Structure 1
Amino acid sequence: MNRISKVLFALSLSLLCLNLVATTEAKDRPNVIVILVDDMGFSDIGCYGSEIPTPNLDALAKNGVHFTQFYNTGRCSPTRASLLTGHYPHQAGMGHLDGLAVPGHPGYQAKIADSSVTMAEVLQQAGYFTAITGKWHLGFNRGCTPQSRGFSRSLNLARGGIFFSSQGGSKGGARLYLNGEEKPLDDPTFNPPWYGTNLWTEWGLKFIDEALDEEKPFFLYLAHCAPHFPLMAPQEEIDKFRGKYLTGWNRLREQRYQKQLEIGLLEDQWGKSRVPKNTPMWRNVPEEKRDRFDHIMSIYAAMISTMDQSVGTLVEGLKDRNVLNNTLILFLSDNGGNAESGPDGRYEGKNPGGPKSNVFLGQNWATLNNTPFRKFKHYVHEGGIATPLIAHWPQGIAKEQVGQRNHQPSHLIDIMATVVDYTEAAYPTEWNGHAIEPMEGISLRPVLEGSSLDREQPLFFNHEENRAVRQGKWKIVSLRNQPWELYDMEADRTELHDLAEQHPERVEQMAALYDAWAERTHVFPASPELFGKKKPKKKNKKQN
């Protein structure tokens, strides 16, 4: 071999070694899947107290870590923005839904702010294959699309509300977006007829196959529409639950509460929150209405069950592809159970639960969803913001933590920090010519490795002028235009005993923290044109 040949051979060998190192590093970095469900309450899956069978999610919890005090923002678009950016919602430009923009107010841009960067953008620049399936709801009509915010592949709805390919079709106007291209629901690409929950999972696995073909680690954001209204599910799934809810919400709520106590999810001394005054006792519900209520809840249960089955399909797909062990799966909900449409919900259209119907759960059943907490979606009492969080990662979670519950307060803002920590991605200070605000959260790595979180800052909440601060064991919370309430969350997480009058100095101190945070993160004062005008009440008043 002459000298030139030796040099070329050595150079080729060096490049091969570098490529092998890079490939090894890529394989060592975890894949990340975030599964977000829509309008699911705290107690709606088996390992959090539900009677609805969810064996696949229960298995993830049994073989992972599940959190008992994890918080979302109490509403759809704000949660999605916070989850993807690691910022508080107003800070990320999404103080409300993506249809409500207030000119001149950076907290209400109805799209992700330029001062925020998404998890997909951070991971894409770190060499990850990034994909989304499902609901976007982050300013699609304002040019904020999955493609513009870091997703390599996407099959998404602009907002949601679609479950069957027959809801719209070629003539109906409803559209899917495949990698940014509009397609009718019944496009042959999607092999109709389909049910949305299954479609998102099927295409999530298709995108994972692309990532594996490219030998890249992947990030999949699987954003289910279920169990958001309109409540729709395959008829054979609904039929499995018919008659099981004739027991009524009162008895089922007590059964969920007792199960939560038995499995160690709750403390005995907390008690169970009161049912709202306009939710009747089941024994007082007329016989002719009971079948309707049973049907509504059966549809909802079928949506939860089908979603769980899709999680099983996803996990089996990861096993078949030999990537489950090094995939961090996170499962959570965007807000608490939804009481919109009043106590009784809605029950409209042909064949309720089918593609031509309009069914809402209603407050009566939402009190069951959020067992044992007060309030619902929109609010920042525990019923609005407490969500299950399940973390599963066979290769990454310490053995002694497997199957454990973690009771340390955590928040959506922590997910970006956790993912950046584990993937060793670089979080930028500038993106596309815009200064990027620092991450607000902290990594949850200590939890998965068996240590305590070192959180220096409180957790803050604001939605529609409902406000809260969680600082250690203390929480102040108020309904819009109402005085602050104070709760000791170690002794009273169900918020039954307001201590504001006993500890006015603590309320004042925490309220000052809230005011400083609200100013810093672009939360602006109560706005009549946004949320209506109400006169503040002078005295603390117990709320249902």
Structure 2
Amino acid sequence: MVYGNTRTITQLVCFAFLLAAWQPTPATAERPNVVIILADDMGYSDIGCYGGEIETPNLDALADHGLRFTQFYNTARCCPTRAALMTGLHQHQTGIGHMTETPQGPRKDDRPAYQGYLNRHCVTMAEVLQPAGYHTYMAGKWHLGYHGKEKWPRQRGFEHFYGSIAGVTSYFKPQGGRGVMLENEKLDPPLDPDYYTTDVFTDYALRFIEEQDDDAPFFLYLAYTAPHWPLHARQEDIQKYVGKYRDIGWDRLRQQRLRKQKQLGIVDQATTLPPRDKGVRAWSKLTDQQKEQLDYRMAVYAAMVDRMDQNIGRLVASLKDQEKLDNTLLVFLSDNGGCAEPYKDLGGGRFSDINDPDQSGAISYGQGWANASNTPFQKFKVFSHEGGISTPLVIHWPAGLKTTPGTITSHPSQLIDLMPTILEVTGADYPERFADHPIHPLEGNSLARLLNGEACQPAPWMYWEHSGHKAVRHGDFKALLPRREKAWQLYHLANDRQETINLASTEPARLAKMAAKWQTWADRVGVTQQAKPTPTTNSAK
């Protein structure tokens, strides 16, 4: 084996039945450890168990012995996803309705939903699990508040922290306002020429667990920056992929990934590809030099995913050696769809800046490869199309998962479902007040019955808003209003998750109801007029 506010009546009934139905077996009577691994800007089809050609044997093994979700949703961007993931609330309720603070200064926005850091009307998973007797560890990207230590991980429930407060960094030499921290102390730029953030984040995650001196359960949040730009990877990993994409290009790569997705059962056999994104040229129209450089950009991106998988293998192997793997609930997902920034098919940044340790800006693989990363969907990170909000979700828990190993579920779920799920399986209590502040009620639904091999009705309504992009899902229907467009669109996802057949003109009453429901939700959680788009520069993330 390779491992290296108020809810609807339906939801309340489902949750109440769930509480009664979940009966831990002797193996799960001991509270599980919880590990959440978050990839950064990784597309839906990038890893092997979701159709990709990139070598991810460790994630594939977790999927083969665990549970995969094909309709799990994030919020379409880094920091809003982290806010929803950590709190079980919609990101606007936490204060991160658009983006978080950058090293350049606090956000100048007096709207509470857009202040740019976690407010005190939410609690993090760490703040809930720590009083329940869990050790709480974090390594990697925080991205939930920068200016003021009270906004940092150690002050939001984490016992130990190593990583980046700001978000994106150089992988080889984190420095300046985008350097790394240990606990609450800023570290000097690393001098070790072998330093690489993905490896070192894992080093500290292992250290925190291995140095624990009691048998209490632990919660680890391992938030990689990979494969987010800048394009930085180790040479031995890059060489595995150089030349692999030169002849196939992004058009054939999309076709290849779709075929594999059908073979795996990730999509149904009738699924077809939507047209190539309008901002991307046909691969055959590019010059030889452009193809050579784009091949290398994609090779570096693939190497970043590959190295992340290698490190996940290290973590799993360590848990196995410590006899902790069986009763560890491990969750893997990505924060948004593949990233097209800065929306050029040839990629972002100068080619010569790839792998430069002193660069941490938008040196990226480009819009064409991002289109392929999100196979079989349209659009990218930031957008509320399926390509922006769909993520792989792999759950592995040998002692507690009662589904057949390798099961694939199409149960529609979302980030805000993870907090109630973890609360249920750990027995932790969600507070009405915390640190003398009232706390918003949870918004999501526990997935514990699914883990127990049983069925449960999905949330009847799901909502999205980021940077002016709006969406709402009700059953198999999804209404979508992209930024700067005036008319809502309507799609039937059971037949058209590619969002190519707009049913707005044939279902006007349904669409009007869904748009009205979205507005009611938006008013409740604090969505207001569109925040200014954040430029894709060093200050963006």
TM-score (norm 2): 0.89
* 1:154 partner amino acid: F
Give the one of 99, 103, 112 matched to 1:106.
112
Q: Deviations over 1:159-189 (max 9, x none)?
A: 2333444454xxx6653211111111327xx
Report if aligned partners of 2:113, 2:526 keep a CA contact under 8 Å in 1. yes
Q: CA deviation at 1:261?
A: 1.2
Q: Equivalent residue for 1:47?
A: 49
Task: Compute the displacement of 1:104 (Å).
Answer: 3.2
Which residue in 2 is equivalent to 1:238?
Answer: 238
Q: Deviations over 1:324-359 (max 9, x none)?
A: 000000000000000011221125264623424563
**Structure 1 equivalent of residue 163 of structure 2:** 156
Hey, what does 1:448 align to over in structure 2?
451
Distance 1:461 1:287 in 2: 41
Matched, 1:38 2:45: no
Whole-angstrom CA distance in 2 between matches of 1:37 and 1:175: 19
In structure 1, C-alpha distance between the alignment counterparts of 2:281 and 2:193, rounded to whole Å: 42
Match of 2:389 among 385, 390, 406: 385
Is the Cα–Cα contact under 8 Å of residues 163 and 197 in structure 1 kept in the other structure? no
**Does residue 82 of the first structure (1) align with residue 84 of the second (2)?**
yes
For residues 133-174 of structure 1, the C-alpha deviation after alignment (integer angstroms, 9 at most, x for no partner) is 000010122441001110000002112333444454xxx665
1:111-122 superposed matches below 5 A: 111-122=117-128
Kept after mapping to 1: 8 A contact 2:172/2:232:
no
Aligned pairs, number: 500
Partner of 2:23: none
Shift of 1:28: 0.7
3-state DSSP class of the match of 2:284? helix
Q: Which amino acid aligns with 2:391?
A: T
Please give the alpha-carbon distance, in whole angstroms, between the structure 2 residues aligned to 1:421 and 1:427.
10
- Opposite residue 239 of structure 1, the aligned amino acid is Q
Work out the CA distance in 2 between the residues paired with 1:352 and 1:182. 26
* Matched residue, 1:429: 432
Tell me which residue corresponds to 1:58. 60
Report the AA paired with residue 479 of structure 1: P
Question: Is 2:511 aligned against 1:504?
Answer: no
My pick for the range that moved more, 344-353 or 56-65, is 344-353
Does residue 376 of the first structure (1) align with residue 380 of the second (2)?
A: yes
Please say if 1:124 is aligned against 2:158: no
Shift of 1:60: 0.3
2:348 aligned with 1:346: yes
Q: Is 1:71 aligned with 2:73? A: yes
Aligned counterparts, 1:76-225, within 5 A: 76-99=78-101, 101=107, 103-142=109-148, 143-168=150-175, 174-186=178-190, 193-211=194-212, 213-225=213-225
Percent identity, aligned pairs only, is 44
Q: 2:22 maps to what in 1?
A: none
Q: Structure 2 CA distance, aligned partners of 1:431 and 1:512?
A: 33
Q: 1:167 to 1:90 in 2, by over 3 A?
A: closer
2:502 counterpart of 1:495: no
Q: Which residue of 2 aligns with 1:283?
A: 284
Q: Deviations over 1:415-471 (max 9, x none)?
A: 101100000001000011111011111111111112222334411100011001111
1:33–1:219: 8 Å Cα contact kept in structure 2?
yes
Find the residue that maps to 2:91 and give its secondary structure.
Answer: coil
CA contact (8 A) 2:168 2:178 kept: no
Distance 1:192 1:128, change over 3 A: farther
**1:256 equivalent in alignment to 2:257:** yes
1:464 aligns with 2:471: no
Distance in 1 between the 2:484 and 2:169 partners?
Answer: 35
State whether residues 235 and 353 of structure 1, in contact with CA within 8 Å, keep that contact through their aligned partners in structure 2.
no
> Residue 519 of structure 2: SS of its match in structure 1?
helix
Equivalent-residue separation in structure 2 for 1:149 and 1:192 (angstroms): 33
Contact 1:401/1:448 (CA < 8 Å) preserved in 2? no
Which residue type is aligned with residue 39 of structure 2? V
Structure 1 residues 230, 389: CA separation in 2 closer, same or farther (over 3 Å shift)? same
Q: Given the superposition, is the C-alpha separation of residues 25 and 128 from structure 1 closer, same or farther in structure 2, using an over 3 Å criterion?
A: farther
1:9 alignment counterpart: none
Give the match's secondary structure for 1:387. strand
Deviation at 1:122, TM superposition (A): 0.0
Q: Determine the C-alpha separation between the residues in 2 that align with 1:317 and 1:362.
A: 36
Describe the shift of the 1:464–1:258 C-alpha distance in structure 2 as closer, same or farther (beyond 3 A).
same
User: Contact 2:460/2:475 (CA < 8 Å) preserved in 1?
Assistant: no
Matches of 1:354 and 1:239 in 2, distance apart? 17
Matches within 5 A, 1:345-424: 345-348=347-350, 350=352, 352-356=354-358, 359-398=363-402, 400-424=403-427
Distance 1:350 1:278, change over 3 A: closer
CA contact (8 A) 1:376 1:383 kept: yes
The letter of the residue matching 1:406 is: T
**2:85 alignment partner AA:** L
SS of the residue aligned with 1:477? strand
Contact 1:473 1:490 in 2 (8 A): yes
> How many angstroms apart in 2 are the aligned matches of 1:65 and 1:492?
24
Matched residue type, 2:81: T
2:504 is paired with a residue of what secondary structure? coil
Deviation at residue 270 of structure 1 after TM alignment: 3.3
Tell me the C-alpha RMSD between the 2 structures.
2.0
Give 1:192 deviation, angstroms: 6.1
Distance 2:392 2:459 in 1: 23
Q: Which residue does the alignment assign to 1:479?
A: 482
* Higher mean C-alpha deviation, range 414-423 or range 173-182: 173-182
Q: Is the 8 A contact 1:26 1:217 kept in 2?
A: no
The structure that has the greater radius of gyration is 1
Q: Distance in 1 between matches of 2:89 and 2:177?
A: 34
Local SS of the residue matching 1:501? coil
Letter of the structure 1 residue corresponding to residue 495 of structure 2? A
* Paired AA for residue 244 in structure 2: K
Establish whether residue 310 from structure 1 lines up as the match of residue 311 from structure 2. yes
**Aligned-partner residue type, residue 453 of structure 2:** G
Question: Contact 2:172–2:196 (CA<8 Å) still a contact in 1?
Answer: yes
Shift of 1:106: 1.6
Q: Deviations over 1:395-422 (max 9, x none)?
A: 0101x43210010100000010110000
TM-score by length of 1: 0.88
Q: Any runs of at least 4 consecutive aligned residues in structure 1 with deviations exceeding 3 A, and if so which? A: 24-27, 100-104, 163-168, 529-532
Give the residue type in structure 1 aligned to 2:236. E
SS in 1 for 2:41: coil
Q: 8 Å contact 1:186–1:193 — kept in the other structure?
A: no
